[in-house]
A and B are shown apart, each in its own frame.
Chain A
Amino acid sequence: MKYLANVVTLQYSVDKCTGCGRCVEVCPRGVFEMGEKKVRITDRDLCMECGACATNCEFGAISVKSGVGCAAAVINGMLTGGEPNCDCGGGGSCC
């Protein structure tokens, strides 16, 4: 299953990649695969912006604006002008 096309904030800079393969290991969506000496992206639209790759890239080759939150949290953020907030408050309905 794939979500909207051309929306994700994932950026990969091939120059900084050392081919360590950590991103291939941590990505739950199969966005990365090992190439000759460096990693390459299979399909950017598969990315769900969890941020596992960027957190674990020691070489700063990957950046992604990650975030969690249900639509209600995003709407709250839109209304209050802040970021989506996943603290559903006092142990309410939380994921």
Chain B
Amino acid sequence: MSKDCCSAPSAKASDASPCCCEQPPTVTAEWTRSDRLGAIKCRVSNRFRMNYRVTPGLHKLGSPGPDSLVFVSANYKLSFDVLRRGLAGLDAWILVLDTKGINVWCAAGKGTFGTAELVRRITESRLAETVTHRRVIVPQLGAPNVSAARVRKETGFAVSFGPVEARDIRAYVQAGLKATPAMRVKQFPVRERLELTPMEVVPSARKLALVIAVLFVVFGLGAQGILFDDALPGTIAATIAGLAAVLAGAFVTPMALPWIPFRSFALKGVLASLAVVGAILGSIPVARTLPPALLAASVLFAVTVGSYIAVNFTGCTTFTSISGVKKELRIAVPAYLVGLGVSAVLVVVYKLQQWGVL
């Protein structure tokens, strides 16, 4: 069998074929320049992030022996890298599961990081022949889909759930594989919320730019074709609304999350949107020249779309439940449809006024 399937972890996409050579690849705890750059790129490019992977299977960190600890990770390279860095100073084994390049917590939710895959990797990597002890340390956030009891029954390996954050691993190891209550709770600090905002802002801004382009044509529509002068006020109103919605829903709501009143993300989004659209309208003089129908449509559209983008952020947070999201949406979705419908009616009213029909 060929041996080059076991090349060191790389940023390239790798297939899920099991490792076939005797020696697991060796890695270090240090981050290189390209590791640091990769960690940033993951936060801004979806395409890059979805292909940022390491080879599944067993890896050596430093020079582990038969009694060294075994840590389990995902094959999303950023997850693997954060674990490596957290293990600085230790010699350990890292068992990488094939999670299709998704991080531990999300993969546990989707099902790729789980009991079956862990059992398979323990067996295929012949872990029982590599180490003399019978224990693997699984990240706590993998627990939604890893049944410690079933892993033990099927492989003989006991599962210890490590701390939530890799930076606490050394303290956890020094305490004899014991985590303090604080190490068990996932926090959601400003820094983490900020890291998530580019992937909120960019996709929604892209979609809204398209909507504004279409609206430009609609607003310019007249008996003589599409007129730029006719399109201008409507396009300004649409741009203000789009800008406010993205800023409020994708940036202000995540960043100011704990300080915006209400627990409902839809309502947080409404408040943030009103504040942002108000601030924009108040600060640019041209806004005051807009006809009332356009102004009203602009505010209503901003609030509706801003709230929708905000409620989507629940998927990124560390504390929202699916039951809660469903409850919010049962009320919010009909409200969004009404908001969009009334905005459209206001735009039609404005166009009829422009054509002199009304």
Contact = CB atoms under 8 A, between A and B. Distances in A.
Given A75-B333, A93-B203, A95-B315, A30 B144 contact: no
Interface string B48-62: 001000000000000
A49 B143 contact: no
B312 A71 contact: yes
A74 B326 contact: yes
Contact of B258 (A1, A24, A30, A66): A1
B333 A56 contact: no
A93 B264 contact: no
At the interface, is chain A mostly helix, strand, loop or mixed? loop
Contact of B318 (A28, A84, A92, A94): A28
Contacts of B199: 93
Interface in B121-176: 140-141, 143-149, 161, 164
Given A2-B319, A7-B324, A29-B185, A78 B333 contact: yes
B144 to A, nearest CB: 4
A28 B312 contact: no
Contact of A3 (B186, B312, B324): B324
Contacts of B257: 1
B33 to A, nearest CB: 27
A68 B321 contact: no
Interface in A21-62: 22, 24-30, 46-52, 55-56, 58
A8 interface: yes
A86 B146 CA distance: 19
A4 B46 CA distance: 30
A4 B327 contact: yes
Interface string B298-319: 0000000000100110111111
Contacts, number: 136
Given A56-B149, A66-B144, A95-B106, A27 B321 contact: no
Nearest to A47: B321
Contacts of A29: 185-186, 319
B166 to A, nearest CB: 14
A48 B316 contact: no
Given A1-B319, A2-B263, A3-B324, A68 B110 contact: yes
A95 B112 CA distance: 13
B311 to A, nearest CB: 5
B46 A8 contact: no
Contacts of A67: 322
- Report, as a range, how many residues of chain B touch the other chain: 35 or more
Nearest to A86: B110
Contact of B321 (A48, A56, A91): A48
B275 to A, nearest CB: 20
A14 interface: no
Contacts of A55: 143-147
B176 to A, nearest CB: 14
Contacts of A7: 321, 323-324, 327
A2 B145 CA distance: 23
Interface of B: 46-47, 50, 102-103, 106, 108-110, 140-141, 143-149, 161, 164, 179, 181, 184-186, 188, 199, 203, 257-258, 263-264, 308, 311-312, 314-329, 333
16 contacts: A1-B257, A4-B263, A7-B327, A9-B323, A26-B143, A28-B186, A28-B318, A30-B181, A48-B318, A56-B146, A56-B148, A66-B109, A68-B110, A70-B315, A71-B328, A71-B329
Nearest first, the 6 closest Cβ-Cβ pairs linking A and B are A70-B315, A68-B109, A52-B143, A67-B322, A26-B143, A28-B186
Given A25-B184, A71-B315, 5 more contacts: A3-B320, A3-B321, A9-B323, A55-B144, A87-B110
